[in-house]
Amino acid sequence: MNSRVYVVATGAICALLVGCGGGSDASSSSPPPPPPPPATITRAEAFRFLNQASFGATDEAAQQVISQGYEPWIDAQLALPASLELPAVDAAYAAMAPPVNNFAPLQGDRVAAWFENSVRGNDQLRQRVAFALSEIMVVSEVSLKQLPWAVADYYDTLARDAFGSYRQLIEDVTLHPAMGVYLSMLGNHKPDAALNIRPDENYARELMQLFSIGLVQLNLDGSTTLDGQGQPIPTYDQATVEGFAHVYTGWNWAGGASFRQARPSIANQSLPMQAYAVQHDTGQKLVLGYPGAALQTIPAGQTPVEDLADALDNIANHPNVAPFVSLRLIQRLVTSNPSAAYVARVATVFNDDGTGQRGNLGAVVKAILLDSEARTTPAADTDGKLKEPLLRLTQLWRAYNVSSGSGKLVVPQLSDVLGQKPLQAPSVFNFFSPFYGPPGEITDQGLVAPEMQIATEYQNTQVTNYLFATAFCYIPKPLAVCPARQANSPILDTAAETAVMANSGQLVDKIADRLLAGRISPALRTEAVRQVDLIPTNLPELRVAEALFLISSSPEFARQP
């Protein structure tokens, strides 16, 4: 704990200085320089890295990281093209018997593609970052049931843009019809004073609050800037929201004969929205004011495209963006409670990747993963995070080389079982809030644990029961009492466990090796061995299942170190 306090303290100083990036904790008291990175990466270190940078560590991936080193591994990942969901939706649609009047079932194919890409895709880092972005810039199937191409292409857009520029990302997000429908910019039109109609404020508000700058001014290290009275300083007010609401007028589905006649088709669900100038407000518009802002109002008389470019430049250049986006990405990938210095180091890279480029997301992701706080052995009791249920499941599946009869991976009633499903949050505020902390020591210390918001008694029991079903039934030889399997039931390959099952200690250690990088607590190991020892060796699957259930449902597997 002492070393942690020290890091935070020097971090605060560091944040006030220029050029403190790169992991050094230099301060006026000149502490010794940090030790050089170890020459070799241990298996446990590779596992930790891969649980941050992928959908779950595997032995194969760990070997790659160990032989290549972190940075070359990242560089190789940055260069891989995105695995996509849209082709799976197209293929599933092609296999449907016409006429098709209900497109909602194709959402299931979209989710199956998500599992395919997340569990088996080579572009693991890109997919993991896309998933993180999908929980920051949220659209939800809940409002988009009949638009599966739009939802799939939205996720593909996040995957394609994951390592590009932030400015490009918010433009692609803003103009995506999935977002257009979800936050009602699509169809938003110019005011009509006679009818008391003014532009829709939905997208204007949430782009600022949730996707870019947040409600209050931030320091580079992510902490809240306070005024002379110790109060937070709002980043915008209602008049600003209204200004942007006017910017986002005149956009609708691409290819319409007119604004009023624009309609969704299969093709235009994956095309950016189109501007229809006739419904665009051409007045002057208030935007964000901040030191260095290129403009505080957008001039009258511009086209929709010109207005949008000015507005997105205005947002993307706001000083909040670097700490706001950096903190959220760190929380999604590495830890719920990064030190201020860690946020500041990443935000510094966001502001300038070293070549003068701002918002280089590939460089930001690299800075997050290579930071000393992500790479040195966790020591503080706040290091790491809780794994959300989807990530627990993908890690388990990847560790056990999951397969199915049909090749497709499907969990029936996924959102009931896990309390989440890709792109199916209950609202634009995601499944959980970045500010959430459960009652007790976490809240008392001013810390957060966002994923705990969906770890309720109810949901945890559901997840635990699914892990139970997995351990006992979704294995090569399911127990006799198990329900019949479906062609797309995900099956774990537990052959290596079965091979050593006669020795309970070896069996438990084998599972711990795969799921916990070998770092199993004495208590968990004792309980798992005890349970296995209750079962005779002529019931090999049951011995494996008992140990796999107890370890996969344990608090230590629920945590990402």
Q: Which is nearer to another protein, 84 or 516 (CB)?
A: 516
Q: Which of 299, 473, 456, 384 is nearest to 48 (CA)?
A: 384
* Environment class of 57 (CB within 10 Å of its CB; exposed 0-12, middle 13-18, buried 19+): buried
In angstroms, give the least distance from the CB of 205 to another protein. 7
Q: Of 89 and 207, which CB lies nearer to another protein in the complex structure? A: 207
Q: Which is nearer to another protein, 126 or 392 (CB)?
A: 392
Query: Strands, DSSP E only, in 155-219?
Result: none
Contact assessment for residue 49 and residue 70, using Cβ atoms and an 8 Å cutoff? yes
Instruction: Judge if the upstream peptide bond of residue 99 is cis by omega within 30 degrees of 0.
Output: yes
Cβ proximity to another protein, 250 vs 359, nearer residue: 250
Q: Where is 252: in which H helix or E strand?
A: strand 251-252
Q: C-beta of 464: minimal distance to another protein in Å?
A: 6
| Interatomic CA distance for residues 454 and 460, integer angstroms | 8
Closest listed residue to residue 137, CA positions, set 109, 169, 168, 111: 169
User: Min. distance of Cβ 527 from another protein in angstroms?
Assistant: 4
User: Minimum distance between the CB of residue 526 and another protein, rounded to whole angstroms?
Assistant: 8
Token representation of residue 482? 């198990």
Position 153, amino acid:
D
Length of the chain: 561
Q: Are 370 and 71 in contact (CB under 8 A)?
A: yes
Q: Which residues contact 445 (CB under 8 A, 6 or more apart)?
A: none
Cβ at position 429, least distance to another protein in Å: 6
Instruction: Select 249 or 268, whichever has its Cβ closest to another protein.
Output: 249
Kindly report the three-state secondary structure assignment for every residue of 547-558: HHHHHHCCHHHH
Distance CA 439, CA 444 (A): 7
Residue closer to another protein, measured from CB, 362 or 540? 540
Report in angstroms how near the CB of residue 548 gets to another protein at its nearest.
12
CB-wise, 296 or 465, nearer to another protein? 465
- Cβ nearer to another protein, comparing 59 with 527: 527
In the complex, what is the shortest distance from the CB of residue 435 to another protein, in angstroms, rounded to a whole number? 8
Cβ neighbours of 446 (radius 10 Å): 8
Per the DSSP assignment, residues forming a β-bridge with 234 are: 216
Closest distance of CB 414 from another protein, Å? 9
